[in-house]
Chain A
Amino acid sequence: MKIVKKDGETIIALEGRLDTVTAPELANIVKDLEFKKLVIALEKLEYISSAGLRALLLCQKTADQKEALMEVKNPTAAVANVMKMSGFDKVLTIKEE
């Protein structure tokens, strides 16, 4: 997990798997971050489990509380598929570049 701050954006790049083991870390980190806009980059995320989806929801909730924006960027095919299947694409702001 890499965190970069750039032009008022906080970018978190995820790699590998976001599952029961790794998901709580993401939620906790985001909770403690200060940001106006949070971008979660998923180019290198191979797999997301339901716990991972929940972590994204928690991030969104955190962002809402901080009155900040959050977007999910460039999910891989597998991850995009899961998001579509679970209806997350309707709730999260997903951007493709």
Chain B
Amino acid sequence: MKEQSAGKKFGVYLLIGALYFVLTLPLAGFTFDDGYSQIRFTSLMPMAAGMLFGFPGALSCALGNLVGDIYSGLDIYCIFGFLGNFLMGWLPYKLWHTLFFFDNHTPKYLETSNSIVKFVSISVITSCASVGTIAAGGQLLQGFSFGTFFLPVSLEYYDLSLLGGILIFQICLTVFGIKPRIPQKAYAKKYQRRRFTIDYILAGVIVISSIIVTSLTFNLKLQDSTMINSLCTAILICSLVLACLPIDRGPKGEKVEEKYIPVIGMKSQFVTIFLLILCAFLVVFTIVCYRILSVDFRYFTAGLGTDSLLWNRIIIGVAVAGTSLILVLHLLLTTIERRVINPVEGVTEYARQFLAGDKIDNDKLTILRAGNELDDLGESVNVMTDNIRDFIEDIRQRTAKEERMAVELSVARNIQQGLLPEDWHGTGFDLVPYIKPAREVGGDFYHFSQLDEDRIFICIADVSGKDISAAMFMVQAKILIEANCKLPADEMLTLVNNTLSRSNKAMMFVTAFAGIIDRKNKTISYGNAGHNPPICLNNGKVCWLDDYADFVLGPMEGVEYKLTTMQIGDDFTLFIYTDGVNEAENKDHKFFTDKRLFQSVNESMKKKCSCEELIKQLESELGEFTKDAKQSDDITMLAVKIR
């Protein structure tokens, strides 16, 4: 795996070298006046190659150039050419990670307007140092004049870096996603600006010396003065020192290894667009310059040096135009950053943090005024987050309230269930009650009590509704019925109804079946206040007790209730229930129905089942029927049998 990637890397370096060589070819036939400098498109590459791949990238460029030199004629100056071309790649890599940090010392690339300025500055220093090295070599060995070589070649490097180098680098990072080599050493230590002052001084010396020597030697025959020679030596030495100074200076910091953050997002997109504009403009500018100037030159001048002059003018023109455009674009980009990108980034970052739950407290989004719609966006975000906070708080309070309610309801449920009689422990009768409320509290209830050895009072009732109001009404009704259970059913119901209806504005009502079974006299006497008809087994026959029903209890005062007395046999069994049984709903909202209820009870009664078996059987049938459905109503049943 490692070897493969090493091989792949080597392939990339080889490709850079080859490309570099190829780029020396197109205008190889043309040389400037000094006979040494050529127009070479190679300058498109070294900055990108160096910043992407570091030392090997720079070396590949230098080797590619060397091959080009060999092709066009090898001489002693090729050593300086090799050195200079190496610096063209190496210096950008080194300077990028050590100088011009406007804010944090982190490996960032072309994302801001300042980073473009940084790129241009480094390109100026590099062009002076690298081309200066070659030119100084030529001057010192008396091969060619510094100025005549330096001016066109260094500007050519500068032009092509602006026109293409910067764009190629950006495209490699953003489009091809190449991960640039980062000198971890440079970031491992605490960055102190003063430790790099020497680099700035060296760079300054190189740039200023280059300009001075150029102005002294341009358009003059090769001359041999001590001052020029010493300045050239200075450029040479300063460039080499600048290249060799260690990349990691400063006290050891606790800094963790800096990771490369891919260049993505709006900032870099804007930078890419601007670089494309810059490139397109300069290409058009160059072509137009060439067309216009070449026509002029053909008419007005003749003789040797014409082409040289033409190209010099074009190169200078492009440098001036490029620099101006960079300044304008920088201004534009700065404005866009301040008015668009930074506010948007602020909002995005705030939203991200809010989403992650970091800013759930009272932090507000603060962005600098942009003077456009983004201000509104910022305010809206603040309003929105405020609302969300309120909602969250609201939900929190509601949940707490609900929990409190649930606790209170469970207490209420206990009280309500406590009102119902305990399991049957009396004599002479077999009796089993069953209740299953649909909610915490319900409206159904039953009551039974042994009046004497042979008589038992039984009652089942259902309050309309199944909420708290139903539960409260139920308690009232239950207490009234219990207190009057010794009365005959008709009198008891009349009394209860009159009491309930006296204070019942809400028109709540309760349906009830109540009766007294007398096993000595073999009778049952009962009254029905609008309740579901019971089912009974009497003398071997199972039937509904649905002969009649009076009005429900509660809404209307003065209703007369009827008492029915029936002779019963030894096998008498009574099953009473509420509408939660026959109207139990399954998941398709179908009812259990009276028919099915009767079938089940009939079967159990015919088999002479005990009350417990009867209730169990019905419970399991209901359970089967209502499987996966939410219980819609309280389910209450009671079975009683003479022993």
Interface residues of A (CB under 8 A from B): 20, 49-51, 53-54, 57-58, 61, 84-88, 90-91
Contact = CB atoms under 8 A, between A and B. Distances in A.
A58 B549 CA distance: 21
Contacts of A90: 550-551
A84 B551 CA distance: 9
Interface in B114-144: none
Interface stretch (B328-336, B480-488, B507-515): B507-515
22 contacts: A20-B465, A49-B583, A49-B633, A50-B464, A50-B509, A53-B464, A53-B509, A54-B509, A57-B555, A84-B549, A85-B530, A85-B532, A85-B546, A86-B530, A86-B549, A86-B551, A87-B529, A87-B530, A87-B552, A88-B530, A88-B551, A90-B550
Contact of A51 (B465, B511, B556): B465
B56 interface: no
Interface in B527-564: 529-533, 546, 549-552, 555-556
A50 B462 contact: yes
B579 interface: yes
Nearest to B508: A54
B322 to A, nearest CB: 76
B579 A87 contact: no
Most buried by A among B464, B508, B533, B556: B464
Interface residues of B, number: 24
A50 B461 CA distance: 12
Interface in B70-103: none
Contacts of A87: 529-530, 549-552
Given A50-B509, A54-B508, A57-B555, 8 more contacts: A20-B465, A50-B464, A54-B464, A54-B465, A54-B507, A84-B549, A86-B549, A88-B530
Interface in B473-520: 507-509, 511
Contacts of A58: 507
Contacts of B507: 54, 57-58, 61
Nearest to A19: B632
Given A86-B530, A87-B529, A87-B530, A50 B511 contact: yes
Lowest 9 CB-CB distances: which A-B pairs, in order?
A86-B530, A87-B551, A50-B464, A87-B530, A54-B464, A57-B507, A87-B550, A87-B549, A57-B555
Interface in B593-641: 633
A2 B392 CA distance: 41
A87 B493 CA distance: 14
Most buried by B among A49, A54, A88: A54
B550 A50 contact: no
A71 to B, nearest CB: 17
A91 B532 contact: no
Interface string B460-475: 0011111000000000
A85 B549 contact: yes
Nearest to A81: B594
Contacts of A49: 579, 583, 633
A8 B549 CA distance: 34
A61 B550 CA distance: 19
Nearest to A59: B507
B464 A51 contact: yes
Contacts of A57: 507, 509, 555
Contacts of A20: 465-466
A41 B552 CA distance: 22
A86 B552 contact: yes
B561 to A, nearest CB: 9
A74 B455 CA distance: 44
A76 to B, nearest CB: 14
B176 to A, nearest CB: 63
